[in-house]
Amino acid sequence: AQKVTQAQTEISVVEKEDVTLDCVYETRDTTYYLFWYKQPPSGELVFLIRRNSFDEQNEISGRYSWNFQKSTSSFNFTITASQVVDSAVYFCALSGGGTSYGKLTFGQGTILTVHP
Amino acid sequence: GAGVSQSPSNKVTEKGKDVELRCDPISGHTALYWYRQSLGQGLEFLIYFQGNSAPDKSGLPSDRFSAERTGGSVSTLTIQRTQQEDSAVYLCASSFSGGYGYTFGSGTRLTVV
């Protein structure tokens, strides 16, 4: 069975602080995919990133960066110089490969509040 | 359309009534997925369609829940004899085969009173 654990239920920071959201996963699949989604107050799930299990390169997109480490089964997400607009619920998710792709197992989510 | 469209956006129903939730996927997306988001259970997978077939229904919580997809496009999730624990946001997503372009809709908020 697959499992995703997001250690932080809620994080509160002040604008311009850096913040890291932790994600640890469990799977027996050798091919799998990891995702991060943002859910702002409007409710829609906004795709942020997808990584496959064979690509451990870290990725940076503007103020966002992701650290994928297979050795610790972690896929952590860092926001640099946080802004109020980053306030949202963030979900880490996992899917298998092949026909299992698309069946996402989500973590419980981390509520991020950025104060001005 | 440009995105995944779900209707209605909000639905209030009386306990025991049947409800139908609709999902219009992005044109050309062959795969379609239903999820449920509730306070107690988080985001849960319900069912997956590839074309009109549902190879994975493992997440449907009971036999009161069913879903169909017609013409490889629109999907309907039906909940019979609704219970208060069915109250949740029901999310639909679609993608090309292989998962490319995986996109969620805005969801239907179902409240059973």
C-alpha A58/C-alpha B36 separation (Å) is 31
B102, closest residue in chain A (CA to CA): A102
Residue-level pLDDT at B1: 53
> Phi and psi (nearest 5°) for A70?
-65, -35
Task: Answer yes or no: are the C-beta atoms of B17 and B83 closer than 8 Å.
Answer: no
Per CB-CB distance under 8 Å, the chain B contacts of A53 are none
Q: What is the DSSP letter of B41?
A: T
Size of interface A-B (CB pairs under 8 A): 47
Q: Which of residues 51-90 of A touch B (CB under 8 A)?
A: none
Verify whether the Cβ–Cβ distance B103 to A103 is below 8 Å: no
3-state helix, strand, coil in chain A (%, to 5): 10, 55, 40
pLDDT, tens digit, for every residue of A52-75?
A: 899 888 888 899 999 999 999 999
CA B113 to centroid of chain Cα atoms: 20
pLDDT, tens digit, for every residue of B36-90?
A: 999 877 899 999 999 999 988 999 999 999 999 999 899 999 999 999 999 999 9
Q: In this structure, is the dihedral angle defined by the CA atoms of residues A28, A33, A36 and A39, taken in order, positive or negative? A: negative
Q: Pick from A42, A109, A2: which is nearest to B39 by CA?
A: A109
Q: Pick from B51, B54, B8, B3: which is nearest to B27 by CA?
A: B3
Does the structure show a pLDDT above 80 at A86? yes
